[in-house]
């Protein structure tokens, strides 16, 4: 046995501030950390563990979960993290020191591998808002002019909705949804700066834009396991490059530490007209009244679902684009992004 001391890190987010959820997440985290590193064995001994949690975790001491689970046999120290603007909420971090390890295997669960904004290497812009507010048009233009990657997160929910539809899965069939999710490969690639979405290896870029897929995407996006899978993918993509992401929960959930956040809206009438023009330009048959009703029903679905509903982040800049041209919105956002980028240099 070598007598080097290794430091193993781990972190997890917690679904809600309840004893049950805190206990479950922390036990899973420490259990994985122990098994991945072969701790508690003759050769690899944990000697000390520090646990820290964000101040929004109040229902249960995370350290108590570690103690009660019995998986880590060493002294524990627990502390509360100071509030850091924009840092990942509901997060528990552990640091274990152990002797005898040749290398440490760090463990990050439930999307917890998100750096604090002050330590973050990449730059992200979050654009949230309801359907038809112009998010994707604006985000594409900004990404091009600012040399950033555009991530259309709605396309990912559309691909999942399409897969569930093709597999004959109903929105109330939780077991079926989870089974399909495990068996679904969604990937996002960039060709000449354009995002391509592949579902099980097939380019579904055109199909997911069809009208019938919008409702499917909205319905299945309310399912927690669907969101968990896609949020993790989105965070990973954003951790690898400078990104502009558009969606419903980017500023509130996916990247709460994004340095620039916008909430783009427009009146229902204007949004329905834009969607109608877009669909008819592509040759889809539709009537304005139905498109408007669909927009209203999606607005309701997206903002009333239990998990990460569409909501303006407290620190997002709200822009109502009803009476603005695309160029005006782009100019306003560019100014803000450049200012924030400048502050980081």
By the 8 A CB rule, do 320 and 270 touch?
A: no
Interface residue with ligand DC among 302, 313, 319, 321 (CB under 6 A) is 302
Between residue 195 and residue 214, which ones bind ligand DC under the rule CB under 6 A? 214
Between residue 256 and residue 295, which ones bind ligand DC under the rule CB under 6 A? none
Please identify, using beta-carbon distances, which residue of 51 and 217 lies nearer to ligand DC: 217
Q: Evaluate the CA torsion angle 288, 162, 301, 308 in order and state its sign.
A: negative
93 binds ligand DC (CB under 6 A): no
Please identify, using beta-carbon distances, which residue of 9 and 209 lies nearer to ligand DC: 209
Interface residue with ligand DC among 298, 313, 321, 329 (CB under 6 A) is 298
Interface residue with ligand DC among 93, 110, 140, 158 (CB under 6 A) is 158
H helices present in the chain, as ranges: 19-37, 62-69, 135-146, 153-166, 174-182, 211-220, 224-240, 268-281, 288-304, 326-344
Task: State the nearest-atom distance from the C-beta of 219 to ligand DC, in Å.
Answer: 9
By the 8 A CB rule, do 218 and 207 touch?
A: no
248 binds ligand DC (CB under 6 A): yes
Q: How many helices (H) and strands (E) does the chain have?
A: 10, 13
Sheet containing 149-152: give its strands across: 149-152, 243-247, 124-128, 260-265, 317-320
27 binds ligand DC (CB under 6 A): no
12 binds ligand DC (CB under 6 A): no
Interface residue with ligand DC among 157, 262, 263, 276 (CB under 6 A) is 157
Residue 215, burial from CB neighbour count under 10 angstroms (0-12, 13-18, 19+): middle
Residues that bind ligand DC (CB under 6 A): 131, 153-154, 157-158, 214, 217-218, 221, 247-250, 298, 302
């Amino acid at each position: 046995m070598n007598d080097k001391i290794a430091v193993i890190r781990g972190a997890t987010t917690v679904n809600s501030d309840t004893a049950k959820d805190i206990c479950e997440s922390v036990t899973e985290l420490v259990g994985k950390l122990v098994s991945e590193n072969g701790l508690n064995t003759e050769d690899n001994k944990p000697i000390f563990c520090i646990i820290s949690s964000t101040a929004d975790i109040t229902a249960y001491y995370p350290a108590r979960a570690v103690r009660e689970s019995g998986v880590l046999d060493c002294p524990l120290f627990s502390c509360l993290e100071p509030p850091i603007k924009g840092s990942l909420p509901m997060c528990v971090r552990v640091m274990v020191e152990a002797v005898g390890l040749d290398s440490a295997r760090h463990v990050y669960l439930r999307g917890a591998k998100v750096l604090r904004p002050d330590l973050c290497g990449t730059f992200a812009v979050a654009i949230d808002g309801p359907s038809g507010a112009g998010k994707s048009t604006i985000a594409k233009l900004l990404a091009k002019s600012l040399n950033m990657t555009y991530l259309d997160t709605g396309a990912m929910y559309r691909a999942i909705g399409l897969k569930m539809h093709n597999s004959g899965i109903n929105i109330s069939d939780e077991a079926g949804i989870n089974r399909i999710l495990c068996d679904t490969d969604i990937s996002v690639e960039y060709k000449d700066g354009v995002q391509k979405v592949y579902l099980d290896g097939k380019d579904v870029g055109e199909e997911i834009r069809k009208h019938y897929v919008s409702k499917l995407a909205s319905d299945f996006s309310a399912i927690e396991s669907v969101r968990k899978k896609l949020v993790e993918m989105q965070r990973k993509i954003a951790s690898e490059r400078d990104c502009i992401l558009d969606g419903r929960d980017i500023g509130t959930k996916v990247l709460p530490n994004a340095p620039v956040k916008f909430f783009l809206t427009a009146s229902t009438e204007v949004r329905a007209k834009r969607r109608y023009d877009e669909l008819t330009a592509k040759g889809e048959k539709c009537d304005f009244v139905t498109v408007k009703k669909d927009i209203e029903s999606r607005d309701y679905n997206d903002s009333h679902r239990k998990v990460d509903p569409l909501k303006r982040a407290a620190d997002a800049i709200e822009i109502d684009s009803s009476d603005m041209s695309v160029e005006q919105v782009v100019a306003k956002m560019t100014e803000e992004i450049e200012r924030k980028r400048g502050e980081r240099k």
